[in-house]
């Protein structure tokens, strides 16, 4: 069956899927002060994090244009597009507009736009599930139904090393951020069913915060033996391995993969951040 899975560049795929010809990524653009960075294979994480740290302003992102998506639709097969949460970016709306414009001239084309309602490895898990469903001979309509149900059953949790980006973008006052920094407070965050971000808990010290996240995962991981655990890290592989080991000694996930964050996920996670999805 001929198909193409398109993700925006917040989709943190494992290496094998990046090399799979069925997968394509459409880059967002990251903006630090007046400097623009395309979130594609040229993304330099070290340079980006250095610029963010040096800037007094919050980094921003610009979503792909409808044309950026449409140029990948000229393909003899079904199209599935996975985007960053529509509550965090305009990427989903841009992809939807691309679909509407393309279908005006190609009304028989099968295109589905999927709002991940999350980010990073959650998007990767959706992409992997689409591939699995297609390779198990499910037709387009069945894949769409099943993948939306799969998306609704996903959980995303993450721990931030730094509150600096939250301070810069106004989600924390300077006083709150200073106090949190002085007390070494690390927030444990999650994604809501609607795709917004909320705080689950907090702890003094990164290890305690990570273990709080593991405990939260243990409490809501339904049928883990049927689920894959995705972990992404922002420039801290050793921390990702620690989280993986702590989770797997408590919860029998079917499989697990670890990836480094690309540009958009690096912007949200900040250096040292850990994102999990399952």
Q: Which CATH number fits domain 3-28+63-152: 3.40.50.10440, 3.60.70.12, 3.10.20.600, 3.80.10.10?
A: 3.40.50.10440
pLDDT tens, residue order, the chain (278 aa) = 799 999 999 999 999 999 999 999 999 999 999 999 999 999 999 999 999 999 999 899 999 999 999 999 999 999 999 999 999 999 999 999 999 999 999 999 999 999 999 999 999 999 999 999 999 999 999 999 999 999 999 999 999 887 666 656 555 554 454 455 656 889 899 999 999 988 899 999 999 999 999 999 999 999 999 999 999 999 999 999 999 999 999 999 999 999 999 999 999 888 999 999 99
- pLDDT value of position 161: 85
d(C-alpha 16, C-alpha 124), whole Å? 12
d(C-alpha 130, C-alpha 144), whole Å? 9
- pLDDT value of position 170: 57
- Is domain 156-277 classified as CATH 3.30.1180.10? yes
- pLDDT value of position 217: 98
Residues of the chain within CATH 3.30.1180.10 domain(s) are: 156-277
In 3D space, the residue among 75, 195, 81 whose CA is nearest the CA of residue 127 turns out to be 81
- pLDDT value of position 185: 86
Residues of the chain within CATH 3.40.50.10440 domain(s) are: 3-28+63-152
- pLDDT value of position 166: 60
CB 27 within 8 A of CB 39: yes
- pLDDT value of position 184: 83
- pLDDT value of position 168: 65
Number of continuous H segments (helices) and E segments (strands) in the chain: 11, 13
In 3D space, the residue among 147, 133, 146, 145 whose CA is nearest the CA of residue 3 turns out to be 133
């Amino acid at each position: 069956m001929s198909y193409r899975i398109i993700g925006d560049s917040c989709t943190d795929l494992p290496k094998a899927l990046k090399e799979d010809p069925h997968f394509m990524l459409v880059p967002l653009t990251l903006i630090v002060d007046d400097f623009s960075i395309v979130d594609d294979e040229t993304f330099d994480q070290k340079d980006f994090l250095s610029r963010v740290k040096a800037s007094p302003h919050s980094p921003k992102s610009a979503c792909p244009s409808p044309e950026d998506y449409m140029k990948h639709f000229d393909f003899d097969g079904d199209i599935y597009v996975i985007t960053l949460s529509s509550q965090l970016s305009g990427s989903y709306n841009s992809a939807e507009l691309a679909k509407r414009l393309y279908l005006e001239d190609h009304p028989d084309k099968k295109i589905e736009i999927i709002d991940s309602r999350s980010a990073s490895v959650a998007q990767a898990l959706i992409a992997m599930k689409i591939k699995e469903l297609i390779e198990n001979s499910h037709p387009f309509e069945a894949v769409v139904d099943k993948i939306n149900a799969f998306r609704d059953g996903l959980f995303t949790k993450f721990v931030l090393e730094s509150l600096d980006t939250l301070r810069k973008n106004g989600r924390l006052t300077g006083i709150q951020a200073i106090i949190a920094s002085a007390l070494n407070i690390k927030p444990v965050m999650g994604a809501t069913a609607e795709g917004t971000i909320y705080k689950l808990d907090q702890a003094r010290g990164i290890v305690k915060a990570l273990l709080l996240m593991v405990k939260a995962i243990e409490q809501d991981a339904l049928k883990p033996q049927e689920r894959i655990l995705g972990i992404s890290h922002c420039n801290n592989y050793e921390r990702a391995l620690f989280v993986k080991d702590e989770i797997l000694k408590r919860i029998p996930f079917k499989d697990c993969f670890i990836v480094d964050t690309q540009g958009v996920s690096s912007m949200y996670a900040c250096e040292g951040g850990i994102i999990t999805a399952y």
